[in-house]
Each structure stands twice: as C-alpha cells, then as structure tokens.
C-alpha cells in the first residue's frame, strides 16, 4: 500500500469552562403596524428583476416550453419514483405537477413538487433514465442531459417550464497533486453556487457522475455539495462545512464559495491548505461540568480556507466486512467496504497528562 499524504491522528484538547448567563426582557408595543416603505421597495425590485430575468430567458432562440398540469402521485404509475416523490408519500402529500419538454430533439418527462429547490425531476423518456446526483433535484441547477448542460426556469407563476441549453462561459475544474507523488487522481460528485444552483462533477453516461481528473463547468463561485476524491488508494469524502467555521461562526450563515471557475484560469483542487479540527461539542466557553459527568466530544475536520468539511478518509486497498442492521438490531446483510482511517483522539490536561483516549469515527 502506498504511503498516504494525509495523516490526522492525534488531537490534544484543553477544556476551558466559562459560565455566563444573560437575561433580557421586552415590552409589547402598540398594535398598529405601519407599512415599511423599504420592504415594499425591495419586494417591487425583486418582482422587476424576476420579470427581467424571465424575459431574457425565454428570448433565446433555442428555448423550449412545456405546460405543467396538476396530477397526483397515485396517478403517476411509476415503478421507481424519484426520491422527492417518496419523501412526499411519507409526508402524506399527494399533489404535484408534470409535463413533457423537448430539448435538442429529445423528449423528457418533468415532475415538480411544491418546492422547486428540492422537488424537481427530469426523465429521459427514450432511455428511461434520470440524473442522480446531489443537487439534481433543484430546478435552478445546471443539469447535464445527454452530455450537455441545460438550465430551466419556471414561468407564468409556475404554470409553465422553460428549458434551454446553457450558453454561458465554461471553465476548467481539475485535481492537482499538491507536490505529492501520485499515480491516480479522480473526482466525482457535485458542487454548488448560491441560490440552490448545483452542477455535476464528472461525466454522466447513465445517471450519476463518473470519476474524472478534470472537467468543464459553467463559470461561477462554488463550494462542494457532495464530492469524492481519490488519490491513489486514499479516498476523500467531502462537502461544504455546515458546522462552525475556523472563526467560530456558523458556516451555514457564512458559506464560503471558494472554488472559482473562470473561463481563462483552471481551478486546481490539491488539498494544499493546512487542515484544522473544530470541536462542535462541547462548545468552547458554553458549558460547565461537574465531577463524574459524562462529556460527549464531537469534532469536524475542515479546510479552513475553503471551509470544506472532510466527511471521511478511506483506504480503498483494504476491505473490511460491515454489518447492516434493522431497527431491532438484527443483521440484515453484510458487505465489504473500504477501511475507514478514523483518527485517534487524546484528551489531556494543560500539563500534558492524558485523561482520555479513543477512536473518533468519521460520520
């Protein structure tokens, strides 16, 4: 097995206990609420911007349209419905919309739920296949269909769907060695922009992105949605960080879109930034403990510059058997999986005395 370039093995934690309480009250004001002119202006501006965007989108010579008609899950008759439809069934929601759109001579069946950000599905009718990657369920994403990128927009208050080939600029996203000696580099998954706009990383021959060393993507500022990167036998699973960032702020409120895809400059992801460990639990300065208390520790491994979370490190050259159990604890089946390189965590006092030690699994 090749020597790995990533080693995250021991973490020394010093516990700082800070107690702070703060209380405040509020006084009920008058019941009469005057309209806020600023809010009205903002709403009007959004409407104007939306109308302008819709007008621009449908002005393209190669745009296609489809009427969206009301239907129900029970009337779909799909043997394998998309994941968002199954979620609707569990939530006892039955109503959705459907339509048929023709893109570059191919017909696609479209399904749309109440939330365009996460309830969208486009099926190639002839191939009977639909894209399956993290973000493919958003109508706002850049969708790769039959080897080309397409974009969609709901128009006429959501009663119609417009679709067209993406005609904007492209840039190159590629892996780099970062000074390491490597024989294989590949990545797959998806990255996302603000506004629920994701794009697949890799080539799609059937449903999911297949690994590549580099690919062409629409220009923009991105962060990983869900991605897998292989450096020889080391597999790195990662996503954007949704815990605290390196500054102690909640990452979801301060998302870093640090992967800049540009027309004239390839973006190289090489993991050259020094990693950092953030303890999510217990919170720094936010908890107190008594003698005999059991303390739960949870940590996140991040790239502090890109605010990327490392979700797993696996050695694909070593396979172990994993048991999958049902809710009653019975083994349903077993499978061979790559060995997870779980780090060892050491808890020590400020003078170096070790008071606890153990494995902290990824996940």
The tens digit of pLDDT for each residue in 20-35 reads: 333 333 343 445 556 6
Spell out where 178-297 has E strands.
185-193, 197-201, 203-204, 209-210, 214-218, 220-231, 234-240, 259-261, 267-269, 276-281
Instruction: State residue 27's pLDDT score.
Output: 41
330 vs 2, residue with greater confidence: 330
Instruction: State residue 190's pLDDT score.
Output: 97
Contacts of residue 13, Cβ cutoff 8 Å, sequence gap at least 6: 279, 297, 345, 346, 347, 348
Contacts of residue 330, Cβ cutoff 8 Å, sequence gap at least 6: none
Q: Provide the 3-class DSSP secondary structure of residue 56.
A: helix
d(CA 82, CA 161): 19
pLDDT digits (tens, 9 = 90+) for 54-110: 899 999 889 999 999 999 998 988 888 899 999 999 999 999 999 999 999 999 999
Confidence band (pLDDT; 50, 70, 90) for 183? Answer: very high
Per cent of the chain over pLDDT 90 is 58
324 CA to centre of own chain: 25
d(CA 297, CA 46): 44
Lowest-confidence pick of 39-53, 158-172, 224-238, 335-349 = 39-53
Q: Given a cut of 80, is residue 45 above it in pLDDT? A: no
Question: Are the CB atoms for 339 and 332 separated by under 8 Å?
Answer: no
- Bridge-based pairing of strands 344-348 and 214-218 is unpaired
Q: Given a cut of 90, is residue 330 above it in pLDDT? A: no
Per cent of the chain over pLDDT 70 is 86
Q: What is the mean pLDDT of residues 236-255?
A: 85
């Amino acid at each position: 097995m090749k020597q790995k370039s990533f080693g995250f093995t021991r973490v020394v934690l010093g516990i700082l206990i800070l107690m702070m309480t703060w209380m405040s009250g509020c006084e009920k004001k008058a019941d009469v609420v005057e309209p806020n002119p600023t809010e009205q202006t903002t709403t009007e501006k959004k409407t104007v911007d939306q109308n302008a965007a819709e007008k621009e989108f449908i002005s393209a010579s190669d745009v296609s349209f489809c009427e969206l008609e009301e239907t129900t899950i029970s009337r779909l008759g799909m043997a394998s419905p998309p994941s968002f439809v199954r979620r609707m069934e569990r939530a006892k929601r039955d109503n959705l919309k459907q339509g048929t759109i023709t893109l570059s001579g191919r017909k696609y069946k479209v399904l749309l739920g109440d939330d365009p950000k996460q309830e969208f599905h486009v099926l190639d009718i002839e191939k009977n296949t639909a894209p399956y990657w993290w973000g493919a369920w958003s109508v706002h994403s850049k969708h790769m269909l039959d080897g080309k990128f397409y974009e969609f927009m709901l128009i006429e208050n959501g009663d119609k769907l417009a679709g067209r080939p993406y005609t904007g600029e492209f840039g190159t996203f590629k892996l780099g060695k970062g000074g390491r000696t490597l024989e294989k580099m590949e990545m797959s998954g998806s990255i996302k922009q603000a506004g629920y706009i994701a794009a697949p990383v890799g080539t799609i021959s059937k449903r999911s992105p297949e690994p590549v060393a580099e690919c062409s993507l629409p220009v923009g500022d991105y962060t990983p949605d869900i991605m897998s990167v292989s450096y020889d036998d080391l597999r790195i699973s990662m996503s954007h960080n949704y815990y605290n960032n390196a500054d102690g702020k909640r990452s979801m409120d301060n998302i870093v879109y640090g992967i800049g895809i540009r027309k004239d400059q390839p973006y190289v992801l090489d993991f050259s930034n020094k990693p950092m460990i953030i303890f999510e639990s217990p919170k720094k300065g936010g908890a107190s403990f008594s003698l005999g208390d059991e303390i739960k520790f949870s940590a996140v491994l991040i790239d502090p510059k890109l605010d990327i979370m490392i979700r797993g490190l696996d050695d694909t050259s070593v396979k172990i058997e994993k048991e999958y159990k049902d809710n009653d604890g019975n083994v349903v089946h077993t499978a061979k999986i790559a060995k997870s390189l779980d780090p060892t965590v050491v808890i020590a006092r400020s003078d170096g005395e070790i008071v606890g030690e153990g494995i902290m699994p990824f996940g």
